[in-house]
Amino acid sequence: MNHSNLYQKIYEIVADIPEGRVATYGQIAWMAGRPNAPRVVGYAMSRVPAGLNLPCHRVVNKSGKLAPYQVFGGEQFQRALLEKEGVTFLENGCIDLKKCQWSIYVPEEDME
């Protein structure tokens, strides 16, 4: 099994994140088959081709904090973008994971 397949899967998972929802690196790693490799996910994001147009801004850490990725133009830009998509932010600047954390099992009753 080629490692490139792992990257491809990571890209696929990130690209499958719906608007208004966010996913954690650990969750993506878990879905990609590497629950112990959250770093690899972050690294994959760092090396992701811009042509894929991946919504990497929807990927946050377990703390609900946005990655120190200033390449987007600033954390505020990223935050505003997510907020515009419907992501709920807390007063402390963290994302409300309990409401916006993406799951493959999307409960319709929880969706509004």
Taking each continuous run of H as one helix and of E as one strand, the counts in the chain are 5, 2
| Binder of DNA out of 7, 18, 83, 101 (CB under 7 A) | 7
C-alpha 82, offset from chain centre: 11
Question: Smallest gap, in angstroms, from Cβ of residue 111 to DNA?
Answer: 23
Residue 36 near DNA by CB under 7 A: yes
State which H helix or E strand residue 32 sits in.
helix 25-32
* Residue 56 a catalytic site member: yes
Residue 82 near DNA by CB under 7 A: no
Distance CA 15, CA 96 (A): 21
Binding residues (CB under 7 A) for DNA: these are 3-4, 6-7, 24-26, 34, 36-43, 45-48, 56-57, 59, 61-63, 67-69, 71
